[in-house]
Structure 1
Amino acid sequence: MPFRPQKTSPNPNPSPAPSPNKRRTTSWSDLWVKSPKSLNQVLFTMQLQSLPKDPKSQTLAPNFSNVDRTLLLPDDTLLRILSKLPDSQRLSNSLVCKRWLSLQGRLFSSLKVLDWGFIESGRLIERFPNLTHVDLSRACIISPQNSSILLHHGNISMHLSTGFSPICRILDENLLSVDVVDRGLRLLAGGCPNLCKLVVIGASEMGLMSVAEECLTLQELELHRCNDNVLRGIAGCRNLQILKLVGCVEGLYSELVSDIGLTILAQGCKRLVRLELSGCEGSFDGIKAIGQCCQMLEELTLCDHRMDGGWLAGLSYCENLKTLKLQACRAIDSNPGPDEYLGSCPALESLHLEKCQLRDKQSVRAMFLVCQAVKDVVIQDCWGLEDEIFSLAIFCRRVRFVSLEGCSLLTTQGLESVVISWKELQSLRVMSCKSIKDSEISPDLATLFSVLKDLKWRPDTKSLLAASLAGTGMGRKGGRFFKRT
């Protein structure tokens, strides 16, 4: 049967063929699928279309005050913009919206935590994911909020209750338990693997081991209330370069750091560059172990040390030591031993003495013998530094810079007897030394002043030397002029 095409009724309203030059209206689905814009950009476009229109011009009203234009910016771009703003605006920027609050948290790399609950709740890691420097010292202390008594010691500040006994160790009674501190350290180490600096009070070996395992980039550690057992955990920090240990602080807490802990530390942290021991015990063996193992050590600070006699001789094993600082030490070395056993530090450049007892002639003499290669000598507010004690500094023949401040027993004759012998002296600074008088300056001392590159002379408030030398050319050498104070 032959095929016959069927008749169809014509369409009374035929639709015109689409023109190739006419563009179809973009739908939201096309905008979402084809455009690489983020959801924030789409929402912003929706907000623009929902604005009220002007009935006369049928255009969008020019009121954009309620529109957040930052929705068009991706997080990375907005983060770079916020990072260019000054730090003083960070708090106000974080109050704009939740998004800005989250982005501002990424900009913080250093934080001092005041509430330990902020760590245990997980908000610290969520709010500040890029932390590299964390100070937990304030958070480790339980302080009554309604107390008006504030105790401040070094970096530690805490409020006290009104009923404490003066013979009690105050801080021991107001510290978090070791288990709580260790639990917080594990949370911190798990959330901040890029941690570089940490300050904590009362941690144990296990808590510090968790930090050492998770935070491989840890370079600086400040540990209060430390003892020999805790140092086993510190020894796992292979990349540690700066370390401060606080063992015993009278009236606050008492812990023991001895030669055992110092030996463990020396064998584990061989990349140390700066070491500070505060309230720590030890002897020749502990200092020797540090010098032999920590060959990169350049700066050693001893604060209120409780070292046994003979520890000074251990410094000779610190072959690369450049700076030695003694602070608030009641004695330098109670029994330094014979001179032939002391040795010296060949690379030492700076010796700093601050608030130390320098009444023992034998120990001061041994110290200057060990430090005979020093070039910079700074003595500030030290007790017992009279002319006879200061004359022992003549063993240091390479001194180029000397600073004396708060040395009330030192006289002009005692100063002159030493500084005249330093043939390489270039800079002299004398401040608040009331026994040194302008009227007692000898011609030899005045000649020395004329060839110095830098001279700061203000031994007392009545000194007129600085004003009288103005315009005379004294203190001028190599293009450097006398500095008026």
Structure 2
Amino acid sequence: MPFRPQNPSPESNPSPSPTKRRTTTGWSDLWAKSPKSLNQVFFAMPLPSHTKSQTLVSTVDRTLLLSDETLLRILSKLPDSQSLSNSLVCKRWLNLQGRLARSIKVLDWGLVESGRLIERFPNLTHVDLSRSSVVSPRNSGILLHHDDLSLHLSAGFSPIRRILEESLLSVDVIDRGLRLLAGGCPNLSKLVVVGASEVGLVSVAEECSILQELELHRCSDDALRGIVGCRNLQILKLVGCVEGFYSELVSDIGLTILAQGCKRLVRLELSGCEGSFDGIKAIGQCCQMLEELTLCDHRMDGGWLAGLSYCENLKTLRLQSCRTIDSNPGPDEHLGSCPALESLYMQKSHLRDKIGMRALFLVCQTVKDIMIKNCWGLEDHIFSTAIFCRRVRFLSLEGSSLLTTQGLELVLLSWQELQSLQVTSCKSIRDSEISPDLATLFSSLKDLKWRPNTKTLLAASLAGSGMGRKGGRFFKRA
């Protein structure tokens, strides 16, 4: 209520004489006499809407009452899709969310070299440095992809054989970044890096004692000396030469160094690597825990297949994008076999050499699963050498356009333990050529996927519709 001072009564306060000046009452006098009344005036005054909201609404952060450990446990229960939005709440949440991160793909090498990567994410266990190792113009409209690597090219790029070599960071820069990373992430268990040397890899082996998975691109024999100290390494991928990107040499020397230093390997992938019987033999003798071996675009010398017999515990063999299997496997008595081998996978490889394919099936004669996908040159007389594998239970054929029904039947009838069969996109295999014996075999299988070509399926689906008669019904000459 507004305050109004009352006029005094004439009896109690006679009117002043005309010679005296009347004094007015100030706000300070009113405050001294009646502070409660002034408070009523203040709270009765209308306030602007924004002032009223600031006065009545509290903005206290309730999470400040929680310790970092408690808040970390809460944030760890949230889905990964919310990690970005959580880090934008405040600086404290940004730091806590960084402590929860375990895996990262670095796009800017400056983040590693400045130390901000370790400061921002102190508990990393999986680090991928492959993309940040390449310097390319961001404003270029030419983008080149290879597996997980993306590279922007300038308008006047050099010949294709040197595309990636000129765009990679120097070896000294990469080694310096690896030393900083290894010193700040002692719990590192997986690392992907391009163009590292022995110096940088030695620091990783010394500081990261629990490193279990390593992927080295543009790797050489000398660089492999740096991973000898990785005693707990179990999964290793070596990329030596990639045509059109870079070229490095991994030979029997590097494979021998690798075998003697990393004896606990379980999975090994060799991509664009050279070698021979000696290198594969060393791996088989030293890495006795090796269960899976992948050869991608191998440049092995003739006779390397005989070295597989020393891999006594090998269970899976993969051949991907290989231009040849073995140019000179040697006599059968020197090949031997892999006693524990269970699976053989061939994908996007050339299978035109009958001698090399025969040697491969002899070495893999104990295999139970065979998968051949999008390979070239697999004809009847080449596929017939698979008769040596008499324990096959599962066969998958896809994209074998030269293989006929007769060639498939010859091998399938020799496999007494066959249980599952998948045939897709093999245009030379036709339903009309299935013999009674092959039909009987199909009826005894536990699993059958029969899609040899789309023409047969199309004719079956259009039966009775009148289509598929070369236009005789719909188009007649006048």
Q: Please, what TM-score do these two structures have when normalized by structure 1?
A: 0.83
Listed as ranges, the gaps of 5+ residues in structure 2 are: 1-41, 45-53, 462-478
Q: Compute the displacement of 1:129 (Å).
A: 0.7
How many residue pairs get aligned? The number is 412
- Alignment partners' CA distance in 1, 2:58 and 2:239: 56
Q: SS at the partner of 1:173? A: coil
Once residues 444 and 62 of structure 1 are traced to their aligned partners in structure 2, the CA distance between those partners, rounded to angstroms, is 90
Deviates more, 1:310-319 or 1:428-437: 428-437
Where does residue 165 of structure 2 map in the other structure?
A: 172
> For each residue in 1:90-147, what CA deviation from the matched residue of structure 2 results, as whole angstroms up to 9, or x when unmatched?
1111100001101111111010000000011111001111100000000000010110
- Match of residue 329 from structure 2: 336
Counterparts of 1:446-457 in structure 2, within 5 Å, are: 446-457=439-450
Distance change >3 Å, CA 138–CA 466, structure 1 → 2: farther
2:376 equivalent to 1:383: yes
Kindly provide the amino acid, as one letter, of the partner of residue 260 in structure 2: Q
- Cα 1:72–1:361 change in 2 (3 A) is same
Distance 1:452 1:65, change over 3 A: farther
Give me the whole-angstrom Cα distance separating, in 2, the residues matched to 1:457 and 1:64: 70
Q: How is 1:347-362 mapped onto 2 (pairs within 5 angstroms)?
A: 347-362=340-355
Aligned to 2:92: 99
1:145 to 138, 143, 146: 138
In 2, the alpha carbon distance for the partners of 1:168 and 1:319 equals 39
Provide the rounded CA distance (Å) in 2 between the counterparts of 1:139 and 1:63.
Answer: 50
Query: Is 1:264 equivalent to 2:257 in the alignment?
Result: yes
Q: Which residue of 2 aligns with 1:182?
A: 175
1:420 matched to 2:433:
no
Residue 77 of structure 2 aligns to which amino acid in structure 1?
A: K
1:202 is aligned to 2:195: yes
| Partner SS for 2:268 | strand
Q: How many angstroms does 1:464 deviate by? A: 3.6
The answer to whether the Cα contact below 8 Å between 2:235 and 2:266 also exists between their aligned partners in 1 is yes
Matches within 5 A, 1:267-286: 267-286=260-279
Equivalence for 2:431: 438
Q: Is the 8 A contact 2:161 2:246 kept in 1?
A: no
Residue 429 in 1 paired to residue 419 in 2?
A: no
Looking at structure 1, the residues matched to 371 and 55 of structure 2 have their Cα atoms a distance apart, in angstroms, of 69
Contact 1:457 1:466 (C-alpha < 8 Å) held by counterparts: no
Q: Which one-letter code corresponds to 2:158 in the other structure?
A: S
Q: What residue number does 1:236 align with? A: 229
* Equivalent AA in structure 2 for residue 299 of structure 1: E
Quick check: 2:160–2:245 contact (8 Å CA) kept in 1?
no
Q: Which runs of structure 2 are paired with 1:18-33 in the superposition (5 Å)?
A: none
Does the aligned pair in 1 maintain the 2:405–2:430 contact within 8 Å? yes
Alpha-carbon deviation of 1:62?
10
What SS is found at the alignment partner of 1:357? Answer: coil
- Report the aligned-residue RMSD: 1.9
Displacement after TM superposition at 1:465 (Å):
11
1:429 partner SS = strand
In the alignment, structure 1 residue 296 sits paired with structure 2 residue 289: yes
Q: Offset of 1:333 from its aligned partner?
A: 0.4
1:66 to 51, 59, 71: 59
The structure with the larger Rg is 2
Residue type at the aligned position of 1:182: D
Is the counterpart of residue 83 in structure 1 residue 58 in structure 2?
A: no
Which deviations, in whole Å up to 9, do the C-alpha atoms of 1:405-433 show, x marking residues without a partner?
A: 11111111111111111111111111111
Displacement, 1:383? 0.4
Deviations 1:37-94 (A, max 9, x none): xxxxxxxxxxxxxxxxx979xxxx9955512111111111111111111111111111
1:215-259 per-position Cα deviation (integer Å, ceiling 9, x unaligned): 000000000000100000011111100000000111111100110
The letter for the 1-side match of 2:135 is I
- In percent, how many aligned pairs have the same letter? 82
Partner letter of residue 128 of structure 2?
Answer: D
TM-score (norm 2): 0.84
User: Using a 3 Å threshold, how does the CA distance of structure 1 residues 116 and 186 change in structure 2: closer, same or farther?
Assistant: same
Deviations 1:372-412 (A, max 9, x none): 00000000011000111111101000000011011111111
Secondary structure at the counterpart of residue 266 of structure 1: helix
1:247 maps to what in 2?
A: 240
Q: Which amino acid aligns with 1:247?
A: G
Matches within 5 A, 1:366-377: 366-377=359-370
Letter in 1 for 2:454: T
Query: Contact (CA 8 Å) 1:315, 1:345: kept in 2 or not?
Result: yes
Structure 1 residues 391 and 97 mapped into 2: Cα distance closer, same or farther (>3 Å)?
Answer: same
Tell me the CA shift for residue 443 of structure 1. Answer: 1.5
Q: Distance in 2 between matches of 1:349 and 1:196?
A: 29
Structure 1: state its 5+ residue gaps.
1-53, 469-485
- SS in structure 1 opposite 2:443? helix
Moved beyond 4 Å, runs of 4+:
61-65, 465-468
* Structure 2 CA distance for aligned equivalents of residues 373 and 452 of structure 1: 20
SS at match of 1:105: helix
Q: Distance in 1 between matches of 2:459 and 2:91?
A: 59
Match of 1:407 in 2: 400
Match of 2:470 in 1: none
Q: Work out whether 1:123 is the aligned partner of 2:116.
A: yes
Partner of 2:51: none
How far, CA to CA, are the matches of 2:97 and 2:432 in structure 1?
61
Q: Per-residue deviation at 1:165? A: 3.0
